[in-house]
A and B are shown apart, each in its own frame.
Chain A
Amino acid sequence: MRDRLPALVKDAALTALVAAALGLFIVGFKTRDAGQGLFFDYQLVDLAVAVATIFFGRLGLQLASLGLKWPSFALGAALGLIGAAPLELPSTFLHWFVVIAGVLIILRTIWPWANAALATARHSQRGRAFGQRGAKWFGAILLAAAVLMPFTSFADQKTMDLAVLILTYVMLGWGLNIVVGLAGLLDLGYVAFYAVGAYSYALLSTQYGLNFWMVLPLAGMFAAAFGLVLGFPVLRLRGDYLAIVTMGFGEIIRLVLLNWVDLSNGPAGIGGIPGPTLFGAVFAETAPAGKQTFAEMVGIPFTSNQRLIYLYYIILLLALVTNFFTQRVRRLPVGRAWEALREDETACKALGINPTNTKLTAFAVGAMFAGFAGSFFAAKQRFISPESFTFIESAIILSIVVLGGMGSQIGVVLAAVLLIGLPEWFRDLGAYRMIVFGLAMVLIMVFRPRGLIAHREPSVRLHPARASP
């Protein structure tokens, strides 16, 4: 310890020096417009506190990585206390900065212990049984919570809106999970099929007056057909090349929608899309001629929340259908062939499996669910334009799948809540919320490089008795 100390201090000092050099111009000065010219405000105390925190933070992390638990723990605790103490630091942000540094050091210190303890628990017989039961219960509880959610007291308009948004992404994540997680085809243009579904419903409902439930299967079929048409030429490509081509396809669809004004009304978008109906009843305060509202049909007073609750149950149902389908198909020859294709395409060919057809089915099925989700999106928003189908949407859906753990259904739910829910919840944080978003992604990838839930449950067992004692 003692002989290493000079090297550690030197390293920490060097880090602090770099931070000081970078921070001098970012944190150290602030220009102020005082009416008769610009003045400098010096914030050197801020800078000094930040640099000192970085010095001790680096020192703590180094100590922790050397396995010196107590010194690093003490350092982390000290930083946390200093940050939490009612000192006269120049800004609340600095308080947070110091506290977070302390917490991170403590986390880093106990990480190896916690990891080892978890690993032994996971490999013990009891731990494994608990894990399997827990996973089953966790899913059931989550489902019950989702079904009962609209009747709880905190289901106000904001929460319900957010819940519908999250569920949309859960469904999209589950759909893409078939393509990326099971079949291993990296699809960066998934939003294209989402757009096809949305425009199918928007056009068929506004032009031909078809209702939501009639268009839903059609939209899925259109999207699947687009999946086949795109998939046929490109699925001979693998990995990165496939990703680039699908990304291009996603952009092409958006550009076509933007420029084919006769069909899609171009950048102005399509408005006045009717919402989904329930046995012909609409969700509005007053019904259009020849129809009745839901409130009249059931005989309850109208509230604006009814429409949201109905939308919530539709997307919950659609998402559950997607999940049920995936769970089921994973146990079928087709699903196993998808996974086998992800693992080794050459071996599949040697076993007489037609790789092109197998990939095409995965691609088309994934596209179909995006089509369902797309027509739901159009019915919910009542206005769509090409703006909603940019590349960033594809990227977010893919991040949900990757962060959740490729192929894991419950992982997709957790990742969707994390990636869609948290940024919306923390909208008050303003610009910082995107930093938190990025930080969360980095942390997940550092600590769980194979996603939140990396465990793969076999599709079939020869010894089921041994699995659940």
Chain B
Amino acid sequence: MTDGTTAPLIEVEHLTMRFGGLVAVDDVSFAGRPREITAIIGPNGAGKTTVFNCITGFYKPTVGRLTLRGEPDYLLERMLGHEVGQKAKVARTFQNIRLFPGMTVLENLLVAQHNKLMRASGMSVFGLLGLKRYRAAEAAAIDKARQWLERIGLVADADRPAGELPYGAQRRLEIARAMCTDPRLLCLDEPAAGLNPRESSELNELLVSIRDLDGVGVLLIEHDMSVVMRISDHVVVLDYGRKIAEGNPEAVRNDPAVIRAYLGTDDGEADA
């Protein structure tokens, strides 16, 4: 699991994003590997979420290339917003939770399997006729949803509207929903925000199991250093839109440039 041993899954090369005169991301390059958790950290306004929005197709980058390696390779910057999820299999969660609050927990997980079910329902025609082929596909989708509900401990709440769940459960559900799309790359935008220490350590276990059992590459934006240091394999540090450090958690923690960015002190005093 050390850097450079496996071929990368996502390659970000010279990514630059300008909004008018503001340079939100400035020439950032890094790579994320399959079966690894790559954390992107940095102070507020460092451009972390902008990087995410570029990778997941919500923004078109001003300059740069985003490649998802596979058979074939996908150039994410050239794809339409929804194609990044549909074809390249990049899933994401949001900083402020975006579930479908009026729909039940189970329905949320079924919507995530939309493209697969849509094919099985013959663009709805087979489904309208109630053919067996579609019913089998739906049963499989419900089964997959149930497995995820077991993993996040929400089986009993499956038929409740998602908006009624407590905050921590909503966070876990959003991750499960993203995983139900069968992603190759999972992008998590501050999944531990607003969680208490117990929920936060449950989240750690979930993310580690996603990495090890499901074999998915994970990109993680996080402010909670206990999460970052404990579970990430690789850390990328951004500040004012630039990459200032990269490496394993231990190396990044002791990097003077990182300490300077977080504490804002001069070199000589940065021994905190």
Which residues of A approach B to under 8 Å, CB–CB?
325, 328-329, 331-334, 336-337, 339-340, 342-344, 346-355, 456, 458-463, 466-467
Contact = CB atoms under 8 A, between A and B. Distances in A.
B102 A343 contact: yes
B100 A460 contact: no
Contact of A336 (B56, B99, B111, B146): B111
* 4 A-B pairs with least C-beta separation: A352-B85, A352-B86, A462-B158, A343-B100
Nearest to A407: B102
Contacts of A459: 107
Nearest to A333: B117
Nearest to A365: B124
A332 B142 contact: no
B124 A329 contact: yes
Interface in B121-153: 121, 124, 127-128, 130, 134, 138, 142, 145-146, 149
A467 B159 contact: yes
Contact of B98 (A329, A344, A460, A467): A344
Task: Count chain A CB atoms within 10 A of each CB in B87, B94, B103, B181 and give the residue with the most.
Answer: B103
A82 B98 CA distance: 57
A340 B92 CA distance: 16
Given A350-B85, A353-B115, A336 B110 contact: yes
B112 A462 contact: no
A346 B57 CA distance: 11
B82 interface: yes
Contacts of B117: 332-333
A340 B100 contact: yes
Contact of B127 (A332, A352, A467): A332
Contacts, number: 129
A462 B100 contact: no
B111 A344 contact: no
B103 A340 contact: yes
Nearest to B182: A352
B106 interface: yes
Please report whether the interface of chain A is mostly helix, strand, loop or mixed according to DSSP. helix
A350 B85 CA distance: 6
A352 B115 contact: yes
B128 to A, nearest CB: 6
B39 to A, nearest CB: 20
A461 B159 contact: yes
Contact of B121 (A332, A344, A460): A332
A328 B181 contact: no
Contacts of B57: 349
Contact of A353 (B82, B94, B158, B178): B82
A351 B106 contact: no
A353 B57 CA distance: 13
Nearest to B86: A352
B98 A346 contact: yes
30 contacts: A325-B128, A329-B128, A333-B127, A336-B107, A336-B111, A337-B111, A339-B102, A339-B107, A340-B111, A346-B58, A348-B82, A350-B56, A350-B85, A350-B91, A350-B178, A351-B85, A352-B84, A352-B85, A352-B86, A352-B114, A353-B85, A353-B115, A354-B82, A354-B86, A458-B159, A461-B106, A461-B158, A462-B142, A462-B149, A463-B158
Interface in B50-72: 56-58
A383 to B, nearest CB: 36
A332 B121 CA distance: 8
B234 interface: no
Given A344-B98, A352-B181, A460-B107, A336 B114 contact: yes
A255 B49 CA distance: 49
A349 B121 CA distance: 20
A457 to B, nearest CB: 10
A125 B205 CA distance: 36
Task: Count chain A CB atoms within 10 A of each CB in B86, B112, B114, B127 and give the residue with the most.
Answer: B114
Task: Count chain B CB atoms within 10 A of each CB in A329, A336, A348, A462 and give the residue with the most.
Answer: A462
A462 B146 contact: yes
Contacts of B121: 332-334
